[in-house]
């Protein structure tokens, strides 16, 4: 085999490898954004397709939901309380062409938007609202971040505040406040019970006042209750009404 034939075979092999290098496979959860001579052609995939070498190039974009853990942010709330808050953001690419052409790095940009929005929203929120209305704050964060990232072809599906860390002195104050609140409710319940009991006793007194026999039966029931407890001493109250009743019987 002469030199010309070897050179021709080598060139043919190189040409074949060059043509085969344009074959691309894009997975089900990916899209390939194609540029031809620097101009956007469109997104392709999933499946097998051909990219013209040198003339075309492809950027692969993942369409799966991304979970971004927002680092802990130290923020001063609206009522001047310093708290440490962290959150998690769930987002995905819905327009791969915008994700490639509208922003240099959509992941980094979304992360920065999430951090700044978290600090801004918490800074406009009072501590009580932050602790008791977390779902409402999550919705507000999701709406703001979604509006900011929508021009990049990003859809923010959820934002969740994971933890709110309070200063030690604030925790002590809140514990004292909670204890005082529990004592207040206990006193109200106790007073309400006394009020209800006094009303019932008043009703019972009115009923007993109308019948001397009922009064005697009540005294006997009381003695029976005392006897059940095995006490060695029984105090027997002798009401004036009973003496009058016995005197009437004697007469």
User: Minimal CA–CA distance to 150: which of 72, 86, 98?
Assistant: 98
Q: 163: which 2 tokens?
A: 């933890």
**Structure confidence at residue 25 (pLDDT):** 87
pLDDT tens-digit profile, the chain (251 residues): 567 777 777 777 877 787 777 888 889 999 999 999 889 998 988 888 888 888 888 999 999 999 999 999 889 888 888 899 999 999 999 999 999 999 999 999 999 999 999 999 999 998 888 888 889 999 999 999 999 999 999 999 999 998 888 877 766 766 677 777 788 888 888 888 888 888 887 887 777 677 666 666 776 677 666 666 555 555 655 555 555 655 555 55
Output the CA torsion sign for 206, 210, 214, 218.
Answer: positive
**Structure confidence at residue 173 (pLDDT):** 67
Per DSSP, the three-state class of 63 is coil
For residue 190, say if its preceding peptide bond is cis, omega within 30 degrees of 0.
no
- Residue 209 burial by Cβ neighbours in a 10 Å radius (0-12, 13-18, 19+): exposed
**Structure confidence at residue 176 (pLDDT):** 75
What's the pTM?
A: 0.66
**Structure confidence at residue 239 (pLDDT):** 59
**61 close to 93: Cβ distance less than 8 angstroms:** yes
**Structure confidence at residue 18 (pLDDT):** 76
- Residue 133 burial by Cβ neighbours in a 10 Å radius (0-12, 13-18, 19+): middle
C-alpha R_g of the chain: 42
**Structure confidence at residue 12 (pLDDT):** 79
**40 close to 61: Cβ distance less than 8 angstroms:** no
**Structure confidence at residue 191 (pLDDT):** 87
Tokens 């978290």 found at: 118
Per DSSP, the three-state class of 53 is coil
**Structure confidence at residue 117 (pLDDT):** 94
**38 close to 102: Cβ distance less than 8 angstroms:** no
């Amino acid at each position: 085999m002469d030199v010309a034939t070897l050179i021709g075979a080598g060139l043919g092999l190189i040409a074949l490898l060059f043509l085969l290098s344009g074959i691309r496979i894009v997975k089900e959860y990916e899209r390939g954004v194609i540029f031809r001579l620097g101009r956007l052609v469109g997104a392709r995939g999933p499946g097998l397709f051909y990219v013209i070498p040198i003339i075309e190039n492809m950027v692969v974009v993942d369409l799966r939901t991304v979970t971004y853990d927002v680092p802990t942010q130290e923020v001063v709330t609206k009522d001047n309380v310093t708290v440490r808050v962290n959150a998690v953001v769930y987002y995905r690419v819905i327009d791969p062409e915008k994700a490639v052409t509208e922003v240099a790095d959509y992941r980094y940009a979304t992360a920065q938007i999430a951090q700044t929005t978290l600090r801004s929203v918490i800074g406009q929120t009072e501590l009580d609202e932050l602790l008791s209305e977390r779902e409402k704050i999550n919705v507000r964060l999701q709406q703001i971040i979604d509006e900011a990232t929508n021009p990049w072809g990003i859809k923010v599906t959820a934002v969740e505040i994971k933890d709110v860390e309070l200063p030690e002195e604030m925790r002590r104050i809140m514990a004292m406040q909670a204890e005082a609140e529990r004592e207040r409710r206990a006193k109200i319940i106790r007073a309400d019970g006394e009020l209800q009991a006094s009303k019932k006793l008043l009703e019972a007194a009115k009923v007993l006042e109308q019948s001397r026999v009922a009064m005697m039966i009540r005294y006997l029931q009381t003695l029976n209750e005392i006897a059940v407890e095995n006490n060695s001493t029984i105090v027997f109250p002798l009401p004036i009404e009973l003496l009058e009743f016995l005197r009437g019987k004697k007469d």
